[in-house]
A and B are shown apart, each in its own frame.
Chain A
């Protein structure tokens, strides 16, 4: 059965700390891995990763994928209170049926709290 496991489930840090969030997966027919940030509103897209070893970066956030070891990490440097959110990892898997739908399997999320 396809599964995506995120760790830790929750994390409390202070402003300025660096955090690493983990996402491991066991998925048949892997296509891509996506990271979303969920605050008290709509989850918003952060990164999509398809190739191993290529870092995606946006400001203080970066992410990398290891397709051999089946995991991804999301790094946040110099954390700010505005980084407090649930971070969702999702893996896209190709499906043979139902014309064009590639299944997205979500992890349970990591809840990050950044304190001043």
Chain B
């Protein structure tokens, strides 16, 4: 089993729909992150969490929300999806104080 598991792996939805991407990890890491990847752009940080009671906005948080349900679970929600949220989304984890990320396999979201 993967250390960082993302579901769904692929999703096609329509504008205005609510979407949740889920991430779970077995690494025991405190820190969890959500990034999006667009062609020609680097990975950009959406939200990050250092523990269950800690949620922080990243550089592109508008239109997104997150929930840290447990140390091992971090979900990303799009309350009302729009086409420019079409992207590849990665969840990542890290040990406190470390900068090396462990990534999930990605969730490809298409908003029509």
Contacts and interface: CB of A to CB of B under 8 A. Distances in A.
A42 B42 contact: no
A67 B105 CA distance: 32
B41 interface: yes
Interface in A1-30: 4, 9
Interface residues of A, number: 27
A105 B42 contact: yes
B99 interface: yes
B100 interface: yes
Residue in A34, A92, A98, A101 with the greatest tally of chain B CB atoms within 10 Å = A101
Contacts of B100: 34, 45, 48
Q: Interface residue tally of chain B, by bracket?
A: 20 to 34
Interface string B71-112: 000000000000000000010000011011111111000000
Nearest to A103: B45
B64 interface: no
A40 to B, nearest CB: 9
Contact of B99 (A32, A88, A108, A109): A32
